[in-house]
Structure 1
Amino acid sequence: MPVARSTKAQSIKQPRAGKAPSVTENVPPEKEEGCQAKRSPSSPQGGPKKRSAFGDITNAHKNQAVTGKKEGVKAPTRKATRPPPALVVAKNNEINLKKSLRKTPPTDVPVEPEKDSVSEEPVQVPVVEDIDKEQLGDPYASAEYAKEIFDYMREREEKFLLPDYMEKQPDISRDMRAILVDWMVEVQENFELNHETLYLAVKLVDHYLVEVVSMRDKLQLIGSTAVLIASKFEERCPPCVDDFLYICDDAYKREELIAMETSILRTLNFDINIPIPYRFLRRFAKCARASMETLTLARFLCEMTLQEYDYARERPSKLAASSLLLALTMKNLGGWTPTLEYYSGYCAQDLHPLVKRLNFLLTYQPCDKLKAVRTKYSHRVFFEVAKTTPMDMMKLEEKLKS
């Protein structure tokens, strides 16, 4: 397939003012969470381009203390036939308070254990760190809603689980899909698009092929149109239609590209907010306090799976968690912490099979001709993580068990 023209794409991509950090700067992932980092070997000199309960408002407890004293000391009797209004209100408040607290005991009064209950040793609850408290003052981080947002994305995963659609595609094979994704990685690099755009575009291709039987001569048209739709969804300044016609070497006409865009959107009912592993990966790396180099290694592992059809049916959150766990293990940075287990929803044992598969994929690349991802992450702006030596399978097994 044709190689995209980098000079034209760079003229389209508008630089973002005030965000030009150093190439080798080790940016912590919690700061990187609020922006969309893009790095491209086509412009390494630019480096990373950014992208309580109610209080006691009554005197009920005071009234309880007064009534308790009456048991030990007899209070002088009064001749008053009608109690003062204040005591009536206090008595009513006491009754209402007791009614409201029948199910739940008050938090400020310790509940004595029953005599017949067996004393148990205190259980040590694992400490879970609040990873969003540091960004509560940042209006762009949406820290107050971050947990609910990712819980919602986890729920949407159930809607976008992919079946095995290659069985009903007579003219398209897994190898053709891998070649298409490899080309889409080059397009993302040359246009300097966000990584989210690439992941979403691949998802759009897969979900479209689930519903529509396509021929191999239309596969590149589907891929380029998917990148166009994903760019409109993710980018501030998406490339225009002419740019996508150019990268296809004028193999398609403008009318065909626009018609394919309409077909994809109608087939997916315009619901293209599909959960992708990249977003979960940034969230989980923030939980682990991982460095930028460790996060980049996990990104490389996760992006390697885009070309593999066998990984297309994995849950995005599980794929992201497994990529991070393998990166942490390769860097000897510990295992799956209680904080990661809480925010990801996966325990370490749930991830071990997928972690082993990822390490096998890293060790034995199926096709040597598809090198777009490895070449991309071999650049110094990506810490050359593609050159990291894979782990021995026996050592990986021992570390996962420990």
Structure 2
Amino acid sequence: MLTRKKLSENADPVVGQTIGLKKGVIEGPVQDKLKKPALGQTRRAAFGDITNATNDKALQGDKKKIVGPLKPSAKINLSIIPTRVSKPAVKKTTEVKKRATSQISLVQKAAKSNLSSSNNLNQTSSQKSSLPVKEQAVKKLPVKEPLDRVEEDFSFVIVEDNDSKAEESIECQEVDQSLLAVDLENYTDVFNVGIYAQHIFDYYKGREKMFSIPAYLNGEAGRVTPQMRAILVDWMVEVQENFELNHETLYLAVKLTDMFMSRANVDKEVLQLVGAVAVFIAAKFDERCPPLIDDFIYICDNAFDRDQFITMEMEMLRTVDFDLGIPISYTFLRRYAKVARMSMVTLTLARFILEMALMENELVSARDSKMAAAALYISQKMKNEGAWEGDVVKSSGYMLDDFKDLVVALNKMLHARPIPQLSTIRSKYAHLIFHEVAKIAPLPTEELLRQGV
């Protein structure tokens, strides 16, 4: 996998306030284990230093970075065993049946002649053996196999007539009406399952209401604030990039973090532990070779030990009821872009918008399917490619009026002044690998909505 080169970041005189923290504990079963830091370690200010940066005075002005990806010591090589795909059934006409029966009769006659010749040979060989021929044959046969077993002949001739061609054309017309164009193209592809693709995403949309997240950051004293959450998500993006994890892992980790903090009272002292555990669980769910616990303890600079990490993992899984099949906006975005046949540049721009929205506390309660639709709509207008109509409307089930408020909110986010503390995503998508989509100037909201009418 390609890794991007870290770009230099311009310092901004307008810097947000540093987060002053007070000691506290998490309420619940993990209270005793999360009350104190690891032995020999000092409690740090929350996100004052969340990485293993050096304390050299010459490096105090540089941005603190986490160490690069730590690879697992052992790798597992999986071999893919090809499977034989059965051919589709073919309707036989009366002429085909006649030819098949004639061939079967010929085969049976040949089998009888071979059987008679083999019996003659067996009679000669039975003179040398004390056992009869039948008992010798029974010994050679596999277990539970009948003596009169006859191999079936599957060879037959297919003759297409006008009636069968007419029936096939009628079936194709019915498929055209029920499936989208992109699914019809992948109808016979077992990896794309075009016949079930739309049903799968409709099922995802139906499960969204099961994972709705309320506005849980109310600004109570000693609790997590929206600014702290944004810094945590920015750090999780950096972890995902350095460990070279999938984007689905990042989105699932953010969802797990929000679900856990909305259902449990989390103190800001353990906020980094919650984010690290969420990435660890999501990686085990989505990655082929997830990072180890020791890797996450290292990037947290040993602020938490292994027992605290495992205890938090068990608590988080119990809180979300062990249900990790959470619909994420990134999955819907890939489906919409495929149906709309968007270019890679337009899709990457929509990914940048959607990833920036992960840090927005106001958008936590929004439905992921609508968020993906709004992000793709904005990228279409910014790149002047395609329109929100046709198959993409049929696939998503949304018109512009259904997610217009999210378009306004996302466009406002793009026009906001960048914060130096939250620059990981912008630096990531400003790289040439991601087509430098972060440098594209956003459109005014009025023009954006006027073009969609």
- Contact 2:328–2:368 at 8 Å: present in 1 too? yes
Q: Counterpart in 1 of 2:336?
A: 284
- The CA deviation at 1:137 is 2.5
Q: Counterpart in 2 of 1:213?
A: 265
Letter in 2 for 1:217: E
Letter in 1 for 2:188: G
Letter in 2 for 1:158: K
- The CA deviation at 1:131 is 1.8
Residue 165 (str. 1) matches residue 216 (str. 2): yes
Q: Counterpart in 2 of 1:254?
A: 306
* One of 295, 308, 313 as aligned partner of 2:347: 295
- Contact 1:132–1:144 at 8 Å: present in 2 too? yes
Task: Calculate percent identity across the aligned residue pairs.
Answer: 46
Q: Counterpart in 2 of 1:153?
A: 204
* One of 61, 66, 72 as aligned partner of 1:4: 66
Q: Counterpart in 1 of 2:296?
A: 244
1: CA distance, partners of 2:238 / 2:304: 19
1: CA distance, partners of 2:203 / 2:211: 13
Letter in 1 for 2:66: A
Letter in 2 for 1:150: F
* One of 183, 189, 193 as aligned partner of 2:241: 189
Residue 343 (str. 1) matches residue 395 (str. 2): yes
- The CA deviation at 1:273 is 1.1
Letter in 2 for 1:373: I
Q: How does 1:3-402 map to 2 (within 5 A)?
A: 3-9=65-71, 129-167=180-218, 170=221, 171-365=223-417, 367-401=419-453
- The CA deviation at 1:168 is 7.7
Cα deviation 1:126-145 (Å, max 9, x = unaligned):
99842212222222223222
| 3-state SS, counterpart of residue 282 of structure 2 | helix
1: CA distance, partners of 2:192 / 2:350: 22
For the pair shown, the structure with the greater C-alpha radius of gyration is 2
- The CA deviation at 1:234 is 0.5
- Contact 2:254–2:358 at 8 Å: present in 1 too? yes
1: CA distance, partners of 2:299 / 2:254: 17
| 3-state SS, counterpart of residue 204 of structure 2 | helix
Q: TM-score, normalised by structure 1?
A: 0.69
- The CA deviation at 1:8 is 2.4
Greater mean alpha carbon deviation, residues 196-205 or residues 1-10: 1-10
Cα–Cα, structure 1 residues 223 and 13, in superposed 2: closer, same or farther, change >3 Å? farther
1: CA distance, partners of 2:434 / 2:72: 19
Cα–Cα, structure 1 residues 139 and 182, in superposed 2: closer, same or farther, change >3 Å? same
Letter in 2 for 1:309: N
Q: Counterpart in 2 of 1:122?
A: none
- The CA deviation at 1:14 is 8.4
- The CA deviation at 1:396 is 1.8
2: CA distance, partners of 1:135 / 1:11: 39
- The CA deviation at 1:333 is 1.4
Cα deviation 1:311-334 (Å, max 9, x = unaligned):
111100000000000000111113
- Contact 2:231–2:421 at 8 Å: present in 1 too? no
Letter in 2 for 1:164: A
Greater mean alpha carbon deviation, residues 332-341 or residues 194-203: 332-341
2: CA distance, partners of 1:142 / 1:191: 31
| 3-state SS, counterpart of residue 131 of structure 1 | helix
Cα–Cα, structure 1 residues 271 and 379, in superposed 2: closer, same or farther, change >3 Å? same
1: CA distance, partners of 2:386 / 2:178: 16
- The CA deviation at 1:169 is 5.4
2: CA distance, partners of 1:310 / 1:368: 20
- How many equivalent residue pairs? 296
